[in-house]
């Protein structure tokens, strides 16, 4: 059950840990929009909790007893996504051996959550616009019009207005979706919540792994708090779980954290150096040059290749191994990503 607002905790959402002003704004908006029937657009980086907010809006609304149906628009090709959303009739394409209802029908009287809506193609955006405007559609290969009563909540890990400017997303669809926007802050934008999250995940994974309660050393907490967190809460959760599994002590120390955290801690501690990317890049190059043997003619390849490998590895981890999502965030296509995985000897077992 979702927790109701109280005097001590005026706004809260089940599944969220955080009391920062940024999250209080999200909680307040969620409670407010749940009482309406408006379409909602959730904007935030991967791992910020967009699906949790979508579920909260649904459960707090008058549709809470109806179905909640989630569709990841970024995980399917155009043709598969069209069939997934609207259904198809027998013989409409190879493999369509029977009539099949789509997700919009399944969400009738409830809510459909369209995650990664920015990944949809212009052709599909036209059909989505019609559903939003007319509340009707046809199954793939059919002429019969189906009417639905479904609330639409969409999510994007990119600013859709930028996609409109680049003409990759329809402006009319954007305004239909963007009736009420909710922006979910990245974890680095609410650092005061990180200690709460760390302690919560420590307790959770100690319990799940049947081990004694762990504490955390101040230096480790400082490193976690200063980290950039490109994968946001999901990345933090994975890091804490790894530490609980790998630690032989009842205290989480800086030593047990992944190397990237220990490196950042050293860089931050250096006088006159900030934690921004330019400073970190300068430190990396200086360390690479200082450690290179005299006459080394492969410094460029050694430094750039290591940065590229680490970036790809961390982005894949932040995207739970989904190559399509990782490629989109890196700004490269999936074939290029696969080539890079082979070049760097990284695991490519996960795909969709």
Tell me the CA distances in angstroms from 299 to 157, 263, 289, one per residue in order.
35, 20, 7
> What is the DSSP track for 247-264?
-SSSEE-GGGS-HHHHHH
Helix (H, G, I), strand (E, B) or coil at 151: strand
- Return the closest-CA partner of residue 234 out of 184, 181, 160: 184
Name residue, tokens 């450690």: 291
- Return the closest-CA partner of residue 39 out of 136, 157, 137, 129: 129
pLDDT of residue 292: 58
User: Distance (Å, rounded) from C-alpha 107 to C-alpha 131?
Assistant: 13
Q: How many residues can be counted in the chain?
A: 352
pLDDT of residue 269: 40
What residue spans define the domains of the chain?
21-185, 188-269
User: Distance (Å, rounded) from C-alpha 40 to C-alpha 179?
Assistant: 6
Q: Does the global pTM surpass 0.75?
A: no
pLDDT of residue 342: 79
The top-level CATH class assigned to 188-269 is mainly alpha
Per-residue pLDDT in tens (0 to 9) along the chain, 352 residues: 344 444 443 467 878 899 999 999 999 999 999 999 999 999 999 899 999 999 999 999 999 999 999 999 988 888 889 888 998 887 777 677 688 888 999 999 999 999 999 999 999 999 999 999 999 988 888 888 999 999 999 999 888 988 999 899 999 999 999 999 999 999 999 999 999 999 999 999 999 999 999 999 999 999 999 998 988 999 999 999 999 999 999 999 999 998 888 764 343 443 444 455 666 776 677 666 665 555 555 667 667 877 888 888 888 878 777 888 888 888 888 778 888 887 777 765 555 5
pLDDT of residue 279: 61
Handedness of CA 67, 101, 82, 328 (dihedral sign): positive
Give the pair of three-digit tokens for residue 253: 């120390």
| Tally of CA atoms within 13 A in the half-sphere of 334 that contains its CB | 12
The top-level CATH class assigned to 21-185 is alpha beta
């Amino acid at each position: 059950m979702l927790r109701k607002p109280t005097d001590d905790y005026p706004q809260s959402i089940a599944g969220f840990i955080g009391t920062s002003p940024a999250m209080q704004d999200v909680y307040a908006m969620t409670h407010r929009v749940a009482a309406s029937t408006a379409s909602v657009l959730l904007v935030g980086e991967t791992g910020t909790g967009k699906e949790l907010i979508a579920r909260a809006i649904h459960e707090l609304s008058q549709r809470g007893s109806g179905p909640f149906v989630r569709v990841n628009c970024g995980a399917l090709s155009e043709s598969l996504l069209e069939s997934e959303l609207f259904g198809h009739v027998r013989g409409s394409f190879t493999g369509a051996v029977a009539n099949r209802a789509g997700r919009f029908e399944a969400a009738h009287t409830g809510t459909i959550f369209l995650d990664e809506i920015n990944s949809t193609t212009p052709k599909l955006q036209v059909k989505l616009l019609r559903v939003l405007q007319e509340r009707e559609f046809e199954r793939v290969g059919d002429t019969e019009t189906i009417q639905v009563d479904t609330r639409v909540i969409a999510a994007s890990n990119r600013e859709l207005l930028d996609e409109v400017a680049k003409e990759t997303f329809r402006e009319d669809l954007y305004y239909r979706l963007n009736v009420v926007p909710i922006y979910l802050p990245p974890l680095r934008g609410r650092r005061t919540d990180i200690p709460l999250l760390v302690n919560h995940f420590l307790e959770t994974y100690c319990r799940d792994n049947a081990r004694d309660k762990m504490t955390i050393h101040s230096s480790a907490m400082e490193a976690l708090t200063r980290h950039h967190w490109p994968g946001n809460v999901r990345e933090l959760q994975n890091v804490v779980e790894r530490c609980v599994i790998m630690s032989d002590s009842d205290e989480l120390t800086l030593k047990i954290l992944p190397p990237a955290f220990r490196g950042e801690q050293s860089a931050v501690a250096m006088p006159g150096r900030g934690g921004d990317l330019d400073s970190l890049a300068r430190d990396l190059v200086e360390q690479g040059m200082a450690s290179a043997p005299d006459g080394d003619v492969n410094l460029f390849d050694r430094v750039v290749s290591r940065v590229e490998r680490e970036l790809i590895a961390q982005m894949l981890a932040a995207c739970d191994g989904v190559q399509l999502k990782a490629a989109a965030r890196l700004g490269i296509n999936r074939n290029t990503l696969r080539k890079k995985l082979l070049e760097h000897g990284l695991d490519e077992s996960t795909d969709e």
